[in-house]
Amino acid sequence: MKGLIIYKGKYGATRQYALWLGSMLGWPVIPAGSETAQQLADADCIILGSSIYIGKLQLRKWLKEHGDIIISKRLFLFLVSGTPSSDKEKLEGYLTTNISESLRSRCVPFFLPGKLEFNKLSWIDKLLLTIGSKLASDKTDDISMEDYNDVKKEHLEAIINAVRKLSEVAA
Ligand SMILES: Cc1cc2nc3c(=O)[nH]c(=O)nc-3n(C[C@H](O)[C@H](O)[C@H](O)COP(=O)(O)O)c2cc1C
């Protein structure tokens, strides 16, 4: 089975998970937009990775543009965010508001914890985060402004197991 990892993030959390997956599976890791049409065409299975900013997937536009090509592949999608994995409703909501139903039904989703270092954000992201957190209508919409870092290799166990299981079936 020919695999590919395509990701889009901003401050390194999504990239780190993508690189770990790439080295564990021996698959190429490519930032979204740098892949070639041939690489996409040749892949049987694609792991897509994206972080979330104010409810939007970084990979949203790329998914719209490439949906028709990738829909025929085996797809896994990992989302990196500040929302705790226990908040399933909010996390599932990110999928429904960002990805078409047809594509969503083809993706196996995984939700991974991210990291935040406020001082390293661009001024616009500092502003967005401050406004977003102030505007949060209730606690469930809240986006943390406190620094955190829960990017750990061990969070990839479930996705690695799922991909390996698929490879065994495909072999
Ligand atoms: C401006 C801003 C907006 C964010 N919005 C959300 C959000 O809507 N929901 C969420 O769960 N996390 C949100 N986050 C947290 C990011 O998803 C988290 O920091 C993630 O690790 C970023 O990954 P990256 O470095 O790969 O882009 C936000 C962070 C920033 C800086």
Is residue 78 assigned to a domain?
yes
- Total domains, the chain: 1
Name the residue of 81, 90, 122, 125 whose CB sits within 8 Å of the most ligand 1 atoms, as the mutation to test its pocket.
81
Is residue 144 assigned to a domain?
no
Q: What percent of the chain has pLDDT over 70?
A: 96
Is residue 20 assigned to a domain?
yes
Confidence label for 140 from pLDDT (cuts 50, 70 and 90):
low
Task: Name which residue sits closest to atom 29 of ligand 1, judged by CA.
Answer: 53
**Residue 160 CB-half CA count within 13 A:** 15
Is residue 48 assigned to a domain?
yes
Query: What number does the ligand 1 atom closest to the CA of 129 have?
Result: 1
Is residue 149 assigned to a domain?
no
CA distance 164 to 48: 16
Is residue 142 assigned to a domain?
no
Cα of 53 to ligand 1 centre, how many Å? 5
**Average of per-residue pLDDT across 73-102:** 96
User: Which of 33-37, 93-97, 158-162, 163-167 comes out lowest in average pLDDT?
Assistant: 163-167
Cα of 16 to ligand 1 centre, how many Å? 15
Reply yes or no on whether the pLDDT at 159 is more than 70: yes
Is residue 145 assigned to a domain?
no
Q: What percent of the chain has pLDDT over 90?
A: 86
Cα of 169 to ligand 1 centre, how many Å? 35
Query: What number does the ligand 1 atom closest to the CA of 15 have?
Result: 26
Give the pLDDT of residue 170. 78
| Owning domain of residue 20 | 3-115+155-170
Give the pLDDT of residue 141. 64
Give the pLDDT of residue 167. 86
**Average of per-residue pLDDT across 29-47:** 97
Task: Name which residue sits closest to atom 21 of ligand 1, judged by CA.
Answer: 114
CA distance 150 to 97: 25
Is residue 10 assigned to a domain?
yes
What is the rounded average pLDDT for all residues in the chain?
94
Reply yes or no on whether the pLDDT at 18 is more than 70: yes
Q: How many residues are there in the chain?
A: 171
Give the pLDDT of residue 134. 78
Ligand 1 interacting residues, C-beta cut-off 6 A = 9-14, 51-55, 80-83, 114-116, 121, 125, 128-129, 132, 143
Angle, in degrees to the nearest 10, between helices 157-170 and 13-25: 40
Which residues, other chains included, contact 55 with Cβ-Cβ below 8 Å and sequence gap of 6+? 94, 97
Q: What is the CATH number of the domain that holds 163?
A: 3.40.50.360
**pLDDT tens track for 112-132:** 999 999 999 999 999 999 888
Residue linked to tokens 């490879």 = 167
Give the pLDDT of residue 168. 86
Cα of 59 to ligand 1 centre, how many Å? 13
